[in-house]
Structure 1
Amino acid sequence: MIRLELLDRYSPALLDSNRAFSFLNFASIGSFIRQPPPSLAYFCDGMLMSGFMSRITGRAVQRVSFDFTSIADPVLRESEQRGKRVYVVGARQAELDRFVEKLGMQYPHLQLVGAHNGFFDVEQGTALQADIRRQRTNLLLVGLGAGLQERFILEALRGGFSGVAFTCGGFIRQEANASERYYPDAINRLHLRAFYRMYREPHTIKRYLLDYPSNALRLTELILRQQVAINVTAP
């Protein structure tokens, strides 16, 4: 039996928890089904997933994504105001450098205590985890792609990390390569984010056109066979 822990919305109170959170859409659900991580709570990343889960569970489950159309600004703004110590992991070094510079301009008082690119071996990863703890990190953001990023934040918790961790997928890379915000306001208002991403990042076309429907059918099958148990909770 696969057990899926879903949060129905985001709350600022989660920033004071010692937990790890990730985000599910109909692409990343594939890696979840193959190897469901233990002790991890999820948000519904995207309108399709939130609509699907709302219908399946009978609960209103909101779309929550780690980007500037959703919770990225509330999380970073609250962390800045409360003096949270932030550590970022992901993207290539040049992209990470641009992202850090951008954060500094948008959140000038944010305590960014560490930043590491997303390319490291096992030994370097161990040293990185130690540095995250040594810096007394309160908020850990990790964008390593589905599967890898979930394992990284769970390893952080098991290693003694005492803050809150969020995966963030391609957020670091996307914002590093955007002149202002990755999604223009008009695209966000019209809910055309998926189409815009296919335009900006053609490699995602397969994900939306093939992976989404096949994973949706697979998930539906598992639910109907009672091989997936979904628990929706409030923050």
Structure 2
Amino acid sequence: MNNREFVRKIANSASAYPDRIFAVGEGRVYTCVNPYSYHLVRHHKELYYSMDGLFVDGMTMCWLIRLLWGKRVPRLSFDMSAMAKDLFTYLNNPDIRRSIYFLGTRQDVLEETIGQFRKSYQNMYIAGFRNGYFIDADDRRKAISDIIHSDSNFAVIGMGSPLQEQFAIDLKNAGYKGVVFTCGGFLHQTANGINYYPDWINRYNLRAFYRLFHEKGLWGRLYNVLIEFPILFTWDTLLTKCSNLH
């Protein structure tokens, strides 16, 4: 995989954050990549490269990009430790007059999450929300149509990768003019409280390990994060740099 283009897109996205990222205009799609999802990026290059921007969710990836490419990029994931907090604070300003739509997780869980948002950001206008499970292709098309007709300025999609990225691109291609963010598990993580991570977890960048002990089925990712990702990213970087020598 050409890591030069991958890192360039990440660096450009970080430098545009937040002003140009939050600016409303023609439809744009942004997603976050982390050490676990890197192998998905390698297998779905066209999908991820079609994004208008990429952000890094994971300090390990930030460190490797700095080590191998000499670029300092911040960790920016869509949760209350970073992008979600910034966007919600922006939308909570009554003078902004912009709205947001949420799609993801189960309906009952999402309703709890929306309640958390409304309690903490009382001036943020939520144009609509629905779960991220579709009965069939028609139900998926209806969900896209509903978001478009909600006239929301922002949409947050949490379905897991790469389903959420494909849905976001399909939403944009269907004519959505707002700004789309994918958010992974953020919508179910926030159901029981607006801040999923304790302050000390954020302070010491231990979010990945915190999730291992609080969410089922994540221990299998440890190999991807600690072993597979550093090897693959370093290998791809070496291949990219060597190919540019010829």
TM-score normalised to the size of structure 1? 0.90
RMSD: 1.9
Return the alpha-carbon distance in structure 1 between the equivalents of residues 115 and 14 of structure 2.
33
CA offsets 1:54-112 (integer angstroms, 9 cap, x no match): 22221211111111111211111112221221110101111101011111101111111
For residue 203 of structure 1, the aligned residue among 209, 217, 220 is 217
SS in 1 for 2:151: coil
- Is residue 156–residue 183 contact of structure 2 (8 Å, CA) maintained in 1? yes
Letter in 2 for 1:34: H
Q: Which structure shows the higher strand fraction?
A: 1
Unaligned runs of 5+ in 2: none
Residue 172 of structure 2 is matched in structure 1 by 157
SS in 2 for 1:87: strand
For residue 143 of structure 1, the aligned residue among 158, 161, 165 is 158
SS in 1 for 2:156: strand
Matched, 1:58 2:65: no
Return the alpha-carbon distance in structure 1 between the equivalents of residues 171 and 14 of structure 2.
25
1:179 to 1:135, Cα distance in 2 relative to 1, 3 A: closer
Residue 186 of structure 2 is matched in structure 1 by 171
For residue 234 of structure 2, the aligned residue among 201, 220, 224 is 220
User: What is the CA-CA distance between 1:157 and the residue it aligns to?
Assistant: 1.0
1:127 to 1:69, Cα distance in 2 relative to 1, 3 A: same
Matched, 1:8 2:20: no
For residue 138 of structure 2, the aligned residue among 123, 127, 149 is 123
Matched, 1:72 2:78: no
Letter in 2 for 1:117: N
Q: Which structure shows the higher helix fraction?
A: 2
Runs of 4+ aligned structure 1 residues displaced above 4 Å come to none
1:21 to 1:214, Cα distance in 2 relative to 1, 3 A: same
Unaligned runs of 5+ in 1: 230-235
User: What is the CA-CA distance between 1:228 and the residue it aligns to?
Assistant: 11
User: What is the CA-CA distance between 1:13 and the residue it aligns to?
Assistant: 2.8
Q: Name the stretch that deviates more: 44-53 or 140-149.
A: 44-53
TM-score normalised to the size of structure 2? 0.86
Return the alpha-carbon distance in structure 1 between the equivalents of residues 58 and 173 of structure 2.
29
- Is residue 44–residue 64 contact of structure 1 (8 Å, CA) maintained in 2? yes
